[in-house]
Amino acid sequence: MKDDVVMKLLRDVSSGKVTVEEARDALEGVNLSEENYTKAVDHGVFSMPKPGTIVRASISPSGDSWLIILVGLWGILWTLFWSGSLSYGLYNRWDQQILAFNLGMTLLTLIIMGIVYLKYVMPDVVVVKHRRNKYITKNDTEAWKKYEA
C-alpha cells in the first residue's frame, strides 16, 4: 500500500525517528472541522455516483511488497518444476496417475498465483452502471416479412 504523508509520519513516530512534538508541529496547519469531516464522509459513502463513473478503492496493498514478490518467484519456480516434470514424464512415458498429479500441481500453483495477483496487485476499480428502462416498440405489422423455406 502506498504510504501517504500521515501514515509515514505515524510510522516514524511509532519507530521513534520523530518525536510526538515534531509530528504535531508538522500537522499544525491542518484544520478539519467536524462539519467538513461529516460532509466528506457523506459525499464519499452515501451519495449515488453518476452513471459511468469510475470508482477507485485503494484498500488492497500494491505489488511493491517483498512478500508479493517472493510469492511470485515461488510460484514461477514451482510452476516451472511441475510443468518440467510433466514434460519429462510425457517424454519418458510415465504412468498416467503421476502425469495427472504433475498437471494438477501446475494448475494449482498457477491458480494460487492468480488469486494472489488479483487480491494484492490488481487495483480495485469499479465502473458504476445503472439499469436503463426498457423501451419496447409497438408491433409493426408492415415490418414483418414472411419467409418460406
Give residue-wise pLDDT tens across range 72-126: 999 999 999 999 999 999 999 999 999 999 999 999 999 999 998 888 877 666 6
Rounded to the nearest integer, the mean pLDDT of the chain is 77
- Cα–Cα distances (Å) from 45 to 12, 28, 31, 34, 35, in that order, read 30, 28, 22, 16, 15
* Cβ neighbours of residue 13 closer than 8 Å, sequence gap 6 or more: 19, 20, 23
CB of 121 closer than 8 Å to CB of 68? yes
From CA 29, how far away is CA 48, in angstroms rounded? 32
Which residue in 47, 54, 46 sits closest to 129, CA to CA? 54
Asked whether the predicted pLDDT for residue 1 surpasses 50, the reply is no
Q: Is 120 exposed, middle or buried (0-12, 13-18, 19+ CB in 10 A)?
A: middle
The single residue listed with the C-alpha cell 514451482 is 78
CB of 84 closer than 8 Å to CB of 105? no
pLDDT of residue 32: 63
Reading the block at residue 67, the C-alpha cell is: 512478500
Express each pLDDT in 17-74 by its tens digit: 888 888 777 777 666 666 766 666 666 555 666 776 666 655 555 666 788 889 999 9
Predicted TM-score of the model (pTM): 0.48
**Which band of pLDDT confidence, cut at 50, 70 and 90, is reported for residue 11?**
confident
From CA 103, how far away is CA 90, in angstroms rounded? 11
From CA 120, how far away is CA 122, in angstroms rounded? 6
